[in-house]
Amino acid sequence: MIDFAEFEKIIKVEFKNKDILKQAFTHRSYLNENRKGNTGHNERLEFLGDAVLELAVTRFLYNKYPEKPEGDLTAIRAALVNTNTISDAAKKLKTNDFLLLSKGEAKDTGRARQYILANAFEAIIGAIYLDKGFEVAEKFIEKNIFYLTDEIVAQNLWQDSKSYFQEKVQEENGSTPAYKTLKEEGPDHDKHFIVGVFIADKLISEGKGKSKQEAEQQAAKKALEIKGWG
């Protein structure tokens, strides 16, 4: 039996509605095997938390960097709220220990688990927002996400890999890279895309993401490393 009170201690937030916290950790697959006495899966909370996260990060960056243009702020925000960043934040909070998953999903420790963790992190934000309001949710995001900003900016981790790769290919080869969807995986509610980036019909690298855009960015980032253009 999972004790969600332990998670409340970790994040230092005590919920009035305990069921909503449990729901934040409940993956859709878990309900297929455990239908009785459950509050529902976390996808609606994830949807809400994603919006709260984006607003909080947007406001923080707007105030932190008054001199930066909209394009730079958008790119920095994307680096702060991407799957890698927020799944890492979820791991640090020991979110893995509280996830409610089907037996099959529980065995997966790879990229699929990373997405589950990222989704749970957003669902937790949504739950905090509903139970405690925006200010408490924003403080949670500040503690777990905002502090990463200086490192991301200092190391240029926010730069758009796809745009930069295109510039380098045009500079070196006089051509433009092309992206092609190689594979689509998963059900409609949890689809993943594998995209290849090509130069003159030659496959350079592949990337995977929850959207074609994310997969293209991953492919471009890997291609920059392969080419030594990082």
Catalytic positions, written as ranges? 50, 122
Q: Which residues are within 8 A (CB) of 191 and not within 5 positions of it... i.e. 6 or more apart?
A: 184, 185, 210
Q: What are phi and psi of 86, to 5 degrees?
A: -80, -25
Task: Give kind and range of the element (H or E) at residue 8.
Answer: helix 4-11
8 Å CB contact between 208 and 222: no
How distant, in Å, are the alpha carbons of 25, 42, 132, 178 from that of 128? 13, 13, 5, 42
Contact call for residues 205 and 226 (beta carbons, < 8 A): yes
Q: Which of the 8 DSSP states describes residue 185?
A: E
Tokens 């900003």 correspond to what residue?
A: 149
**CA end-to-end span of the chain:** 47
Helix, strand or coil for residue 145? coil
Are the C-beta atoms of residues 54 and 105 closer than 8 Å to each other?
Answer: no
